[in-house]
Structure 1
Amino acid sequence: MKNSLIQKYNIPGPRYTSYPTVPYWDESTFSKEKWLETFKKSFKESNTSEGISLYIHLPFCESLCTFCACHKHITKRHEVEEDYITTVLKEWNLYTNLVDEKPIIKEIHLGGGTPTFFSSDNLQRLIKGLFINAERHPNFEFSFEGHPNNTTKEQLQTLFNLGFTRVSFGVQDYNETVQKAIHRIQPFENVLQVTNWAREIGYTSVSHDLIFGLPFQTKENVIHTINKTKELQPDRISFYSYAHVPWVKGVGQRGFNEADLPKDKEKRELYEIGKQLFADLGYVEIGMDHFALPTDSLFKATQEKTLHRNFMGYTANKTQLMIGLGMSAISDSWYGFAQNVKTVKEYQELVNSGEIPVFRGHILNQEDLIVRKHILNIMCHFSTSWDEKLNQFDELENSITLLQEIKEDKLLKIQNNTLTVTEEARPFVRNICMAFDRRLQRKQPETKLFSLTI
């Protein structure tokens, strides 16, 4: 890949887990009442036909990892678990009380924070509590994120017995210098142990999360980490670009100096090395930053054109309605987004007073809905079309004009009103989506909002 293209396109840009992206939500037209209207509309349209998804944010961590940009609460006091679970179940009841039929849950994902901060008993109480007023979809898929240092065999067995078949372990990098810099000391033996436990128990998909672009990380580190990963052969691998956004996340990402980070060409080379090594091992690139073995459901979803992307990342299941429960969780009704308050204290106070704890969001207009489809198509399938009238919007010509320069750089093809991202251009997929992002194009940010695209 030409270094000149990397330098040209390595600019701040969204990761497009939603459109509009969170900084461009129009809160002046949003209200909790409007959000709940879109929730009820979406539930009525989709619950019976495809079910709903639940994302549950479990925010507690015993220590702070300095690479992390998630909303978390650092504590070693495990007595916080029970009250938090109670509050999440109360929030879920606030939603179920708004509808006339039982929710049919197709997908659950436990994220954080550190979901395995919670005891087996409390995890069981959480999941069983959700189904007091809900049913399982016949094709349900439940997943969770596990920390290799504290995930126990009991937790894995408990969640498996409750229907969980997919687990993602955060690995990041196996080099000790890198681990010290990001405050995540994690021996290979711990990852080996939890991966083997998961497989012994019967999990059908084990994923490892790796990150490139971390402080002090070198080519040798990436090669070493992937060679160690090869020994365990996870079904999926997420190979994320480290998002350095200390202006958003503050001191948590100031545990090292800017000069310690791989830059531009050097960082991109880490990705290219990883991508080639994954291909050599039989992994197929899925969407952006993800790789899967041909036996995994994520690969099958790609083949069947059912791959979806939302605030949980890439998923093999698509549901129109996704409810986010817990502190800072984001919900998506397709017609609107809503985010919960960002502190445990305020979250619990609101829910315990009988309020759905939403504090901001966005109601999508007709243009938003069309642009969102194009961005989802590009992020999931590397292609989109505006041949039909229903896929066109007023400023489409402006987007096509912005795409011309990317086309001249041979990063995409446009033929018969259909855009296709070339194989070598996949690292630039965020840049291509930005051309469709009308809200971004109308108002460029005055301050830093996003990480670099490459």
Structure 2
Amino acid sequence: MSKSLIQKYNVPGPRYTSYPTVPYWENEEFQYDLWIKSFKKSFSESNASEGISLYIHLPFCESLCTFCGCSKRITKNHSVEQPYLQAVLQEWKLYCNEMDEKPIIKEIHLGGGTPTFFSIKNLEDLLNGILKTGIKAENFEFSFEGHPNNTTKEHLQKLYDLGFRRVSFGVQDYSETVQKAIHRIQPFQNVAKVTYWAKEIGYTSVGHDLIFGLPFQTIENIVDTIEKTKSLKPDRLAFYSYAHTPWIKGNGQRGYKEEDIPKDEEKRKLYEVGKALLSSNGYHEIGMDHFAIDSDSLFKASKEDKLHRNFMGYSHSKTQMMIGLGVSSISDTWYGFAQNVKDLDDYYQLLEWEKIPVFKGHILSQEDLKIRKHILNLMCQFETTWEHSENYMPEILSQLQEMENDGLIKIEENKLKVTKSGKPFLRNICMAFDLRLKRNAPKTQLFSMTV
């Protein structure tokens, strides 16, 4: 990748887990009743044919990782577990009250925070409480995020017994210097232990999350981390770019200096070296920032053009409806988005008033829906097509012309295809389709850098 292209396209940009992106939601026009209407419409259309997905946010962590951009609450007090999970079940009940039939549950993902902060018994009670009110889809997939330092074999076994077959472990980097900087100390032995346990128990997809661009991270660190990762043979990998956004994340990302963080060409080289190592060890690049071996469902979905992307990231199966439960969670009906309140006390109060605890959102216009489809196509299949009736396309194509000249894309009549050289700039290509971003360019930096 040329230095000139990196310098040219390394600008702030969204990661496109949704369109419109959260900063461009029309929150002032969002109404609770419109959200419920959107929910009912989507549920009636998709429950019988696809089922629904559930994302459950479990926000508690015992210590703060300074690289993390998730909504979390730091505590060592485990008495917070039961009241929180009771509240999540109450929220689920409120959604169920709006359904005219039993939900068919296709996906459940436990995210955080640290899901394995919670005791086995409490997690079991939560999941049984959800499942007793719904029907498991025949092809269901349940997954969770595990912290290598506190995931026990009992956690893995109980969740397996409840139907979980996919787990991802946050690794980030094995360098002690990097781990100290991001306040995430976890020896390789801890990761190896939980990975072997998961495989022994029978999990069919074990994933590791790695990050490039962390403070003090070097090429030697990337090579060492991927060599160690290779020895454990996870089925899939997320190899994310560190999103340095201290103006959003607060003091957590101010524990090191700007000059400690790799940037531009230096940062991109970390990715290119890591990607080459992964490729030489049988990992295929899937969409953006993801890799999988031949036998993993994510790779198979990419080959069959069935890859999907939402607020949970990439998935091998699609559901139109995704309900986010828990503080700060985001729900998606395809026609609208809604985010829960971020403050725990507010969350509890709204549920006590028997109100689904959303506080902002966006109902998509017809134009939004079409642009959303284009961006989803690009993110999942690296190509998209359009109709002649889409009268905003000349505006988009004019911006794409320079990217075509740079060899990032190929345009033929009503079709765009991302080239191999263009894949590292996928976020930039999607930005050309982002009409809301173009029509209202931010005056301050809202997003992390694209490269």
Q: Could you say which TM-score interval applies, normalised by the shorter chain? A: over 0.9
**2:400 corresponds to:** 403
- Counterparts of 1:393 and 1:103, CA distance in 2: 35
Q: Secondary structure at the match of 2:337?
A: strand
- Counterparts of 2:399 and 2:118, CA distance in 1: 48
Deviations 1:192-221 (CA, angstroms, capped at 9, x unpaired): 000000011100000000000000000000
**1:69 corresponds to:** 69
TM-superposed CA distance for 1:393, in Å, is: 2.8
**2:323 corresponds to:** 323
TM-superposed CA distance for 1:28, in Å, is: 2.2
- Counterparts of 2:420 and 2:167, CA distance in 1: 29
**2:421 corresponds to:** 424
Deviations 1:336-363 (CA, angstroms, capped at 9, x unpaired): 0000000111111111221100000000
**1:173 corresponds to:** 173
**2:431 corresponds to:** 434
Q: Secondary structure at the match of 1:167?
A: strand
**2:5 corresponds to:** 5
- Counterparts of 1:180 and 1:323, CA distance in 2: 36
**1:359 corresponds to:** 359
- One-letter code of the match for 1:186? Q
- Counterparts of 2:348 and 2:198, CA distance in 1: 33
- Counterparts of 1:148 and 1:431, CA distance in 2: 34
**1:443 corresponds to:** 440
- Counterparts of 2:447 and 2:83, CA distance in 1: 34
**2:84 corresponds to:** 84
Q: Secondary structure at the match of 1:207?
A: strand
**1:286 corresponds to:** 286
Deviations 1:24-59 (CA, angstroms, capped at 9, x unpaired): 001122111101100000000000011000000000
Q: Secondary structure at the match of 2:421?
A: helix
- Counterparts of 2:131 and 2:190, CA distance in 1: 33
- One-letter code of the match for 1:251? N
- One-letter code of the match for 1:441? K
Indicate the RMSD between aligned Cα atoms, in angstroms: 0.7
Deviations 1:218-247 (CA, angstroms, capped at 9, x unpaired): 000000000000100100010000000000
- Counterparts of 1:212 and 1:96, CA distance in 2: 41
**2:60 corresponds to:** 60
- Counterparts of 2:22 and 2:145, CA distance in 1: 23
- Counterparts of 2:120 and 2:187, CA distance in 1: 23
Residue 274 in 1 paired to residue 274 in 2? yes
Deviations 1:373-432 (CA, angstroms, capped at 9, x unpaired): 00000000100011x35xx53321100100000000000000131100001211100000
- One-letter code of the match for 1:318? K
TM-superposed CA distance for 1:448, in Å, is: 1.1
- One-letter code of the match for 1:68? C
- Counterparts of 2:220 and 2:362, CA distance in 1: 44
Q: Is the 8 A contact 2:298 2:307 kept in 1?
A: yes
- One-letter code of the match for 2:19? Y
TM-superposed CA distance for 1:306, in Å, is: 0.7
Unaligned stretches of 5+ in structure 2?
none
- Counterparts of 1:297 and 1:233, CA distance in 2: 15
Q: Secondary structure at the match of 1:394?
A: coil
- One-letter code of the match for 2:23? P
- One-letter code of the match for 2:379? M
**1:202 corresponds to:** 202
Q: Is the 8 A contact 2:327 2:344 kept in 1?
A: yes
- Counterparts of 1:313 and 1:227, CA distance in 2: 25
- Counterparts of 1:191 and 1:64, CA distance in 2: 19
- Counterparts of 1:58 and 1:161, CA distance in 2: 20
- One-letter code of the match for 1:292? A
- One-letter code of the match for 2:145? E
- One-letter code of the match for 1:17? T
**2:390 corresponds to:** 393
TM-superposed CA distance for 1:300, in Å, is: 0.6
**1:110 corresponds to:** 110
Q: Is the 8 A contact 2:236 2:291 kept in 1?
A: yes
**1:160 corresponds to:** 160
TM-superposed CA distance for 1:317, in Å, is: 1.1
**1:213 corresponds to:** 213
Q: Is the 8 A contact 2:371 2:434 kept in 1?
A: yes
**2:47 corresponds to:** 47
After the TM superposition, which residues 239-278 of structure 1 pair with which residues of structure 2 at under 5 Å, given as runs? 239-278=239-278
**2:302 corresponds to:** 302
After the TM superposition, which residues 327-342 of structure 1 pair with which residues of structure 2 at under 5 Å, given as runs? 327-342=327-342
- One-letter code of the match for 2:99? V
- One-letter code of the match for 1:348? Y
- Counterparts of 1:214 and 1:99, CA distance in 2: 44
So what's the TM-score if we normalise by structure 1? 0.99
Q: Is the 8 A contact 2:171 2:208 kept in 1?
A: yes
Q: Is the 8 A contact 2:407 2:421 kept in 1?
A: no
- Counterparts of 1:23 and 1:400, CA distance in 2: 24
- Counterparts of 1:321 and 1:12, CA distance in 2: 29
* Structure 1 moving runs of 4+ over 4 Å: none
- Counterparts of 2:141 and 2:300, CA distance in 1: 14
Deviations 1:249-307 (CA, angstroms, capped at 9, x unpaired): 11011110000000100000000001100100011000000000010000011011110
- Counterparts of 2:429 and 2:286, CA distance in 1: 17
Residue 413 in 1 paired to residue 403 in 2? no
- Counterparts of 2:390 and 2:203, CA distance in 1: 44
